[in-house]
Amino acid sequence: MRVIAGTYGGRTLKAPPGANTRPTSDRVRESLFSILGDRIDEARVLDLFAGSGALGLEALSRGATDVTFVDDNRGAITAIKGNLAALKATAQVRQTDALKFLHAASAGGAQYDLVFLDPPYRLAERLAPPLSEALPAVLAPGAVAVAESDRRAPLALDLPLKDERRYGDTLIRIYGP
């Protein structure tokens, strides 16, 4: 796994140990960032269920000004911090539950231009309603949310669907204005 393009393009990334984290493939990330295009420039990015941090790190490499990584798994947090250190990059890293983070961020007035959501596939259906309720409070005007899930168990958010793409068993949904 590597950073596809930008400042850190070609640099190798480490994934958390074990089978619990499923990093977004290079092919899917490359396609996704082509779709997002200039939206990344100077964006405030939230990478929920961050895993290795590959999505947020790709955004940082492509010009995002601020990235916050959130995951509740200690191994994921260690991998993200290690990847940031290897790239000599800075970002906020939070080890906490995604929904708790969203509620605290909302209460603190945080706003993001781009939110990546890549929860464990087995939890997508259960997480869709609370994420649909909590996300709008942290989305800046004109922001988009990108949800990655298994095509057989999609993360179906109750937000306006802007685009949808399938890459094998991976389904990418882009929600926004």
CATH number at residue 122: 3.40.50.150
Look at residue 62 and tell me if it is in a domain.
yes
Q: Please give the residue range of the domain that contains residue 63.
A: 26-175
Local confidence band at 37 (pLDDT 50, 70, 90 cut-offs): very high
Look at residue 9 and tell me if it is in a domain.
no
Taking CA atoms, 99 is separated from 45, 77, 116, 117, in Å, by: 16, 17, 14, 11
pTM over 0.85: yes
pLDDT, tens digit, 9 for 90 and up, residues 103-134: 999 999 999 999 999 998 889 889 999 999 99
Look at residue 39 and tell me if it is in a domain.
yes
Look at residue 113 and tell me if it is in a domain.
yes
Stronger pLDDT, 111 or 10, i.e. the higher one: 111
Distance CA 78, CA 117 (A): 19
Look at residue 20 and tell me if it is in a domain.
no
Domain count, the chain: 1
Cβ atoms of 33 and 4 closer than 8 Å: yes
pLDDT, tens digit, 9 for 90 and up, residues 127-167: 999 999 999 999 999 999 999 999 998 999 999 999 999 99
Look at residue 17 and tell me if it is in a domain.
no
Q: ∠ CA(107), CA(108), CA(111), 5° rounding?
A: 100
Look at residue 10 and tell me if it is in a domain.
no
Look at residue 18 and tell me if it is in a domain.
no
